[in-house]
Amino acid sequence: MKPLIIALALILAAPLPAYAHPRTPRDLRELAHQQGIRIGTAVDLAALRGEADYRTVLNREFTHVTAENAMKWESVEPERGVFIWRDADALVENARRNRQRVRGHTLVWHNQLPAWLTTGVAEGKIDDRELRDILRDHITTQVRRYKGKIRAWDVVNEVVEEDGTLRQSLWLTHLGPGYIADAFRWAHRADPQAKLFINDYNLEWNAPKIETTLSIVKDLQARGVPIHGIGFQGHLGIQYDYPGDWANVMRRFADLGLEIAVTELDVRMVLPVTEEKLATQADYYRRALTDCLSVEACRELTVWGFTDRHSWVPGWFDGEGAACLLDENLAPKPAYRALLSVKRPR
């Protein structure tokens, strides 16, 4: 028995194989593969075409992409019945070449609608019945064009107000709450394989929005409407507390059988930038990914732009910015390195 004991001791003393201690990933794409999650970004199409360094980083780092604006209604159908697919097609083709999956954003929203639509409704030139037909045709046309090429669609975006009531949008006013179910049904018919999401901001912490959105999902499911996922936008600011119950909120939606995605993550700060603010920002990014990885149903984390060179934040929040993982020169910030250090909770 002595040789057997010696052999066993040698086995126990041997170092664990490399896969037991995975090295720190070299970039976000490798992190995504290590952790079994899609890591994505919103894409600025002008930068994709015109900036080689932007394009290089995009295609090196990310396994998932979302068009920042190129798939919104005013971009693809600026005139009634006249569709312009150039930018959206470019995103989808670039993703195909670089082994990236695509999130379609967004089919129904109250913002960035074309003037012909909003003016026509306001002036009574488009009645409610015609508006419903227009919405159906728009969804069907767009989803069919990218059938089999888009993994997931944000079907309805920001349909709940801060107080938990349904948003008083053109769609609710003229079509009633049934437009939400209709949008999901039409999108599913156009591409039965695509994952269909409801997407909103402040779902990370706002109790009225959370409860109303849960109710919407349950109602859709009870009526057999195809809904597959929930998108938490994740627009955070370091001047506010991190939403510490976020993982539990994710679990409440996961318990309904939904796929979970963080769809638009960024972490802004009041300028100027300081080392202390960058450290806090890095902690928020780290906690967001950790929360996602702690919930088995969370399969995607997408940042809303990856460089401060192209960020929506300064244009919307006066005196704020520096919200992205890379600075204006595409240099990694502490937040980028913080994401690479995250391990899936056991």
Q: Quick check: is 300 catalytic?
A: no
Rounded CA gap, 309 and 340, in Å? Answer: 22
pLDDT at 3: 47
Long-range contacts from 305-313, C-beta under 8 angstroms, 24+ separation: 305/41, 305/42, 305/44, 305/68, 305/266, 306/41, 306/57, 306/58, 306/61, 306/62, 307/54, 307/57, 309/47, 309/54, 310/44, 310/47, 310/54, 311/266, 312/68, 313/266, 313/268
Check if the beta carbon of residue 259 is closer than 8 Å to that of residue 297.
yes
Q: Would you list the domain boundaries of the chain?
A: 26-340
Catalytic residue among 61, 77, 264, 300: 264
pLDDT at 23: 86
Rounded CA gap, 139 and 137, in Å? Answer: 6
Sign of CA dihedral 169, 248, 234, 138: negative
The torsion angle over the Cα atoms of residues 298, 193, 86 and 137, rounded to 10 degrees, is -110
Q: What pTM value is reported for the model? A: 0.93
- Residues of the chain short of pLDDT 50, as ranges, are 1-21
26-340 has which CATH code?
3.20.20.80
- Residues 71-127 have pLDDT tens digits of 999 999 999 999 999 999 999 999 999 999 999 999 999 999 999 999 999 999 999
Closest CA to 201 of 171, 225, 232: 232
Closest CA to 58 of 324, 338, 337, 334: 324
pLDDT at 22: 66
pLDDT at 10: 39
CA 165 to chain centre: 23
pLDDT at 189: 98
Q: Of all helices (H) and strands (E), which one includes residue 157?
A: strand 152-157
Backbone angles phi, psi at 42, to 5 degrees: -75, 145
Kind of pairing between the strands at 320-321 and 64-67: unpaired
